[in-house]
Structures are given as C-alpha cells and as structure tokens.
A = this chain, B = another copy of it.
C-alpha cells in the first residue's frame, strides 16, 4: 500500500508557498505553481478561482471543523469558552503541525495589502459562521456576534505570536494566554 499522499490542492498550496517565498507573490504565475506541483493549470483552476485563493486552501476545512466543535461543546459552558475550546481543538488537530507553512503564509500575506484585505474578509466571514453556530445553541444574535468576534480577536493575537520567529509555545497555549489577556483588558474598569 502506498503511504498517504497529499492531494492536488495541498500540493499546489505547498508549491505556491515555496514560489511566493523565493520570488514573491506578484512575480509568480499560476503556470509556475502547477509546474512545481507536477500538475496542470487546469487542475489548479479545478481547485482555486485565482492565484490568491491558493493561500486560503485550509479556510473551508477549518470553518467546518470549528463549527462542528462548537456544536459538540458542553451545553453548560459560557459562549466564549465554547468558542475558545473549539479553537483549541482545531489548533491541536489541524494547525500545530503546519507551523512552518503558516509562517511562510503569513509573511506572504503581510507583504501584500490586497492579500491582507482578503484575509480580513475571510476572517469576517469566519466570525459570522462562529456567531451562527453559537446562535444555534441558544445564544442571542448580538451576544453571539460579540462572542465570536472576541474569540477571533484572541485567536488572531495567538496566531500573530505563534508565527513570530523564536516563539516556541503551541498555538493552544498562546490562545489560552491571549484569552486571559482579553479577560484582563475587558474586565478592568
């Protein structure tokens, strides 16, 4: 039996991150990405609408996993803890092994305002999905949105730290740290 092989989308993402790192996002063509991955441009377009989208390959999987974990959470837990627990599970199961790829990805995105804007748009859509999942568990829409946005704020703060050179704590540890910092900040009055 062959060992598990990355699927086409993952191979394209890996090739794209290598090329973006070597020669920049703007100067890399879709033809070069497909070539590096040993695939055709047609296959690229079967998976991604444009060159930018290859940087957001994990988005739909992460959203599905997060929404499933929120739905599976203990009904007695406060909404923010429900969202943060789900983010911790997803961090351990899907993100921790991808730290190097995440670092490369963030350096590409941070260098390009259009990519950064798209990242922010994707995060806003993910916030809405988390809010919907919390709302389905009985949280009123306003609290669900504020809770989702607060959890995303903690998650984004943790991701910034996690991809920083020299940082060795896991994403889950950094997430717990940023939630404590958020509680301190917002609680102090």
Copies of this chain assembled into the complex: 2
Q: Is the interface of A mostly helix, strand, loop or mixed?
A: helix
List residues 135-166 of chain A with CB under 8 A from any CB of chain B.
142-143, 145-147, 149-150, 153, 156-157
User: Which interface residue of A80, A183, A185 has the most chain B CB atoms within 10 A?
Assistant: A185
Contact with B along A113-136 (1 / 0, CB 8 A): 100111011011000000000000
A183 to B79 CA separation, bound complex (whole angstroms): 13
B146 touches A178 (CB 8 A): yes
Nearest B residue to A139, CB-CB? B185
B187 touches A183 (CB 8 A): yes
In the assembled complex, 8 residue pairs joining A and B whose CB atoms fall closer than 8 Å, in A order, are A78-B189, A80-B186, A80-B188, A80-B189, A116-B121, A117-B121, A143-B184, A150-B185
A31 at the interface (CB under 8 A from B): no
How far, in Å, is A22 (CB) from chain B's closest CB? 26
Nearest B residue to A84, CB-CB? B189
A146 touches B157 (CB 8 A): yes
Chain A interface size range: 20 to 34
Nearest B residue to A118, CB-CB? B117
> In the assembled complex, which residues on chain B have CB atoms less than 8 Å from the CB atom of A156?
149
A145 touches B157 (CB 8 A): yes
